[in-house]
Chains A and B, each alone.
Chain A
Amino acid sequence: NAGVMQNPRHLVRRRGQEARLRCSPMKGHSHVYWYRQLPEEGLKFMVYLQKENIIDESGMPKERFSAEFPKEGPSILRIQQVVRGDSAAYFCASSPPSTANYGYTFGSGTRLTVV
């Protein structure tokens, strides 16, 4: 049973380009969470999604960032017109609906570098 799969592991973008980060949850998990880890900091919650629904996006920056979790396929975190301050590790986690409050499984992350 594969864990939470994130790709790419490393992503380099020039300022102004778009970054697309993908997350495939564990089999049977219908809840996905995205977190961002800035250098020397802990993880900060960004968004919580269920299939075709955004449940909580209180941690998402108001501009340039969006997330989706379609009926089919992985969850996508999209960052438009990236800036140097977007350089960070982005982690996805997933859980089944019944244990959403009880901790979840993280992927290995995507490390975004904006040059």
Chain B
Amino acid sequence: AQSVTQLDSQVPVFEEAPVELRCNYSSSVSVYLFWYVQYPNQGLQLLLKYLSGSTLVKGINGFEAEFNKSQTSFHLRKPSVHISDTAEYFCAVSTGTASKLTFGTGTRLQVTL
């Protein structure tokens, strides 16, 4: 079985500053990795995903993430955040033989002026 750990429950950051949201996973098999964003009272929107190939993945809204197999990490980064990036961010993992996603508990990104 796989699991996902998002160590930071909340990350406060000033507008235009860089941000990194951490995600570590554990799995005994190869995984697919995802980041989703949830705005208040809305569903989840896919930001980006790693399936195979280049370990640096670019997503929507200027976000990117890097898959690090040796450290079993998939941290999300953005060089300059905007107020509108304030939301809950979820890291998720699935394996090649299962369609269900295992989610982390989420990181609340709070961007202020």
Contact = CB atoms under 8 A, between A and B. Distances in A.
Interface residue tally of chain A, by bracket?
Answer: 20 to 34
Interface in B17-47: 32, 34, 36, 41-46
A25 interface: no
B43 A91 contact: yes
Contact of A48 (B49, B100, B102, B104): B100
A29 interface: no
Contact of B99 (A56, A109, A111): A56
A103 B31 CA distance: 12
B38 to A, nearest CB: 9
Given A31-B99, A103-B34, A108 B49 contact: no
B51 interface: yes
Nearest to A4: B43
B103 interface: yes
Nearest to A6: B43
Interface residue tally of chain B, by bracket?
Answer: 20 to 34
A111 B46 CA distance: 20
A103 B44 contact: no
Interface stretch (A14-22, A36-44, A68-76): A36-44
B73 interface: no
B113 interface: no
B103 A43 contact: yes
B102 to A, nearest CB: 7
A44 B96 CA distance: 19
A31 B49 CA distance: 19
Interface of A: 4, 6, 31, 33, 35, 41-45, 48, 55-56, 58-59, 91, 95, 100-103, 105-109, 111
